Amino acid sequence: MVTKQFTGSPDDADLRRADSLAREIFSDVANKWALLIIEALGDDTLRFSELRAQVEGISHKMLTQNLRMLERNGLAHRTVHPTVPPRVEYTLTEPGQALRATVHTMCDWTHRYLGHIEQSRRQFQNGAGSAIGSSSVS
């Protein structure tokens, strides 16, 4: 029988586990649809159809997948009301609300620097970006 020896303290193992989980969660929520869903839910409780109407361009499939991911990560809560047909509503949990504050900060950053970003993109397209990585050393 082979046993694997780990070096480092239990705190190091906890940090590695936390880093791994953080990467997994970032991978899940760092997509345009998840961020838009979080923003659309806000402080509200919305039905699937209401949420789909607020997130312009999202397909039924992508909304379903992202809502499941948000629910799995404890960021959204799904409530099924026993009616015919069933009424399903979604709301952000406390951690979801906290993430929404970060999303707001990112949106504010985008609004603040939109002009700068657009100008930089135009300059890049017009040839200024072609010099990146090709500077000569004297």
Q: Quote the Cα angle for 38-79-42, to 5°.
A: 20
Which band of pLDDT confidence, cut at 50, 70 and 90, is reported for residue 16?
A: confident
**Dihedral in degrees, nearest 10, Cα atoms 13, 103, 63, 25:** -10
Q: Answer whether residue 43 shows pLDDT above 60.
A: yes
Taking the C-alpha atoms of residue 2 and residue 24, their distance in angstroms, rounded to an integer, is 29
pLDDT of residue 40: 93
What pLDDT does residue 6 have? 45
Residue 132 — pLDDT band, cuts 50, 70, 90?
Answer: low
Residues 6+ apart with CB under 8 A from 45: 79, 89, 90, 91
Whole-structure pTM value: 0.72
CB 81 within 8 A of CB 47: no
- Say whether pLDDT at 133 is over 80: no
